[in-house]
């Protein structure tokens, strides 16, 4: 029996991938790199920032260590995403509201730090839906490791077979599956074309995901 739904944050609840790409593009300009958006979509979208940094240092032979690049990007992220909430994904709030009205528990499980989720909670009023946020700050290993989902389950007091995860990226899917969760995917412009063959279901809109959940839960 499903008792809870765990939502990813970036790309699932909020339309943040464009800003993430823009932040990388601006930072890489300082190293003389013109970073293509398509490359971001194919290799870095939905992937933790630390892994992005490792990829970029190697791909472009940057004169910094991955950790140094990560720190530069993390600072830039806090200046942007840590202050202003990103727009909500179309249909995201309606889906969250529906989940809550069914009496299901909710949590957010994200590879980002809590400081990037806080604007969503406050500026979009999502505090009323999510009292539990599992973030990069709470775990040792980021997605695709299962740690952040396991932390969310522990806080909910539920087992993996009692919850469904909602994700948008292959990295998030791997994390949820590694924790033993069923996972449905709602694709966005940055995750179209990726391999979601192991997902329980794949949708293009939040409304389609809600209709599926209605059949599954009710």
Q: What is the pLDDT of residues 32-62, one digit of tens each?
A: 999 999 999 999 999 889 999 999 999 999 9
Q: Strand pairing of 133-134 and 105-109?
A: parallel
Per-residue confidence (pLDDT) for residue 82, from 0 to 100: 80
148, with CB counted inside 10 A (0-12, 13-18, 19+), is buried
* Average pLDDT over every residue of 71-99: 93
Measured N-to-C along each axis, helices 66-80 and 49-59 cross at an angle, to the nearest 10 degrees, of 130
Domains in the chain, CATH or no CATH each: 4-15+86-217 (3.40.50.1000), 17-80 (1.10.150)
Average pLDDT in the chain: 96
32, with CB counted inside 10 A (0-12, 13-18, 19+), is exposed
Per-residue confidence (pLDDT) for residue 98, from 0 to 100: 97
* pLDDT tens digits for range 133-159: 999 999 999 999 999 999 999 999 999
């Amino acid at each position: 029996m499903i008792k809870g739904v765990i939502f990813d944050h970036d790309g699932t609840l909020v339309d943040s991938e464009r800003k993430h790409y823009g932040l990388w593009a601006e930072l890489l300009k300082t190293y003389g790199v013109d970073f293509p958006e398509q490359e971001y979509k194919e290799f870095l979208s939905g992937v933790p920032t630390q892994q992005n940094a490792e990829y970029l240092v190697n791909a472009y032979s940057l004169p910094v260590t991955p950790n140094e690049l990560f720190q530069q990007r993390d600072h830039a992220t806090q200046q942007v995403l840590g202050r202003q909430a990103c727009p909500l994904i179309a249909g995201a709030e309606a889906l969250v509201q529906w989940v809550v009205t069914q009496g299901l528990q909710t949590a957010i499980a994200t590879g980002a730090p809590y400081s990037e989720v806080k604007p969503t909670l406050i500026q979009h009023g999502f505090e009323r839906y999510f009292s539990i946020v599992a973030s990069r700050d709470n775990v040792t290993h980021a997605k695709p490791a299962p740690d952040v989902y396991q932390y969310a389950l522990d806080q909910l007091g539920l087992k993996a077979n009692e919850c469904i995860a909602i994700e948008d990226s292959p990295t998030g899917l791997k994390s949820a599956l590694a924790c033993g969760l069923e996972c449905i995917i709602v694709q966005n412009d940055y995750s179209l074309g990726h391999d979601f063959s192991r997902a329980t279901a794949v949708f293009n809109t939040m409304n389609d995901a809600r209709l599926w959940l209605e059949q599954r839960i009710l």
